[in-house]
Amino acid sequence: SQKIEQNSEALNIQEGKTATLTCNYTNYSPAYLQWYRQDPGRGPVFLLLIRENEKEKRKERLKVTFDTTLKQSLFHITASQPADSATYLCALDPGNTDKLIFGTGTRLQVFP
């Protein structure tokens, strides 16, 4: 069956450290993968998109990697801050038609 899995347990890290979140998928061959941030009671906000021919993408303190052999994407936040505390969702578009399939999300808590 097709699945997108993210670590359902919350990730707690200290301010200033690097947070690494994992997204694994099975039985999909996506052309790209996206990461979103969601705060409680709000809609997801787009962060980064990485295509299948890209190994790594960066935006300020954010970095995403995409390994189509392992069927895995890693999302890194360097020099994390308490304001980075949120749920982070990975999503893929199986048919390249803007129909997004989301993982369950990983809640990140950055403490001072």
Partner 1 sequence: DAGVTQSPTHLIKTRGQQVTLRCSPKSGHDTVSWYQQALGQGPQFIFQYYEEEERQRGNFPDRFSGHQFPNYSSELNVNALLLGDSALYLCASSLVGTGGTEAFFGQGTRLTVV
- Kindly list the residues in this chain that would bind partner 1 in the complex (CB under 8 A): 4, 6, 31-32, 34, 36, 41-46, 49, 51, 89, 91, 93, 95-105
CA 93 to the chain's CA centroid: 14
Report the alpha-carbon distance of residue 1 to residue 13 in Å, rounded.
Answer: 33
Rounded distance between C-alpha atoms, residue 51 and residue 62, angstroms: 16
Residue 112 beta carbon to partner 1: minimum distance, rounded to whole angstroms: 26
Nearer to partner 1, 28 or 102 (CB): 102
Q: Which is nearer to partner 1, 41 or 112 (CB)?
A: 41
**Closest separation between CB of residue 6 and partner 1, Å?**
8
Cβ proximity to partner 1: between 15 and 54 the closer is 54
Number of neighbouring beta carbons within 10 Å of residue 20: 15
Q: What angle do CA 47, 29, 22 make, to 5 degrees?
A: 45
Residue 88 CB, nearest distance to partner 1 (Å)?
A: 11
